[in-house]
């Protein structure tokens, strides 16, 4: 457990992973969403890359090539940990506002689940490809999660 907490136990690292699962993969956009200092975000991104949870991928911004951060298969495997934190917080902690709620949705059946790794409604194993998160503060509808499959060039 201690080895896993060394990587996943840092709140900023978990929030960075949340952003990447939500498809928010660019440094500036993450910084704005998280309200974090450049140095903190840089350090967490470097650590997540060092441990193989994220990798950089080139993209063209219309004038020059830039890089964004994408999940690797190892990073995608952290999904049940993030799901567990979301579910536990909804069950045990009062939300500061009505918009602060977040739910794990099994996209295949469209229902909310109370299990981090298996849909409690239909029994299917949850993966990034079949799971959505519904953050009421972001959108009216659940957001499909990014997967490691989006990594180009086999870096997943």
**Residues 60-99: tens digit of each pLDDT:** 888 889 999 999 999 999 999 999 999 999 999 999 999 9
* Residue 10 is assigned to a structural domain of this protein: yes
> 66 and 39 in one domain?
yes
In a domain, 155, yes or no: no
H/E segment holding residue 40: helix 38-50
Are 6 and 72 in a shared domain? yes
pLDDT band at 155 (very low <50, low <70, confident <90, very high): very low
Residue 150: per-residue pLDDT: 55
Q: What is the mean pLDDT of the chain?
A: 94
Same domain, 69 and 83: no
Number of separate domains in the chain? 2
Last residue of a domain, one of 23, 42, 76: 76
Is there a contact between 50 and 72 (Cβ–Cβ < 8 Å)?
A: no
For residue 137, the enclosing domain spans: 79-149
């Amino acid at each position: 457990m201690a080895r896993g907490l060394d990587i996943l136990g840092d709140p900023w690292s978990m929030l960075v992973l949340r952003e990447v699962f939500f498809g928010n993969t660019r440094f500036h956009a993450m910084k704005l969403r998280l309200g974090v200092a450049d140095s903190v975000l840089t350090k967490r991104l470097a650590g997540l890359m060092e441990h193989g949870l994220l990798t950089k991928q080139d993209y063209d911004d219309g004038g020059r090539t830039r890089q964004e951060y994408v999940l690797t298969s190892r990073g995608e495997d952290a999904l049940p940990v993030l799901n567990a934190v979301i579910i536990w917080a909804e069950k045990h902690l009062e939300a500061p506002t009505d918009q602060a709620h977040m739910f794990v949705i099994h996209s295949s059946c469209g229902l909310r689940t109370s299990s981090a790794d298996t849909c409690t409604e239909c029994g299917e194993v949850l993966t990034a490809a079949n799971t959505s998160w519904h953050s009421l503060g972001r959108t009216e509808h659940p957001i499909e999660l990014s997967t490691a499959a989006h990594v180009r060039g086999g870096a997943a």
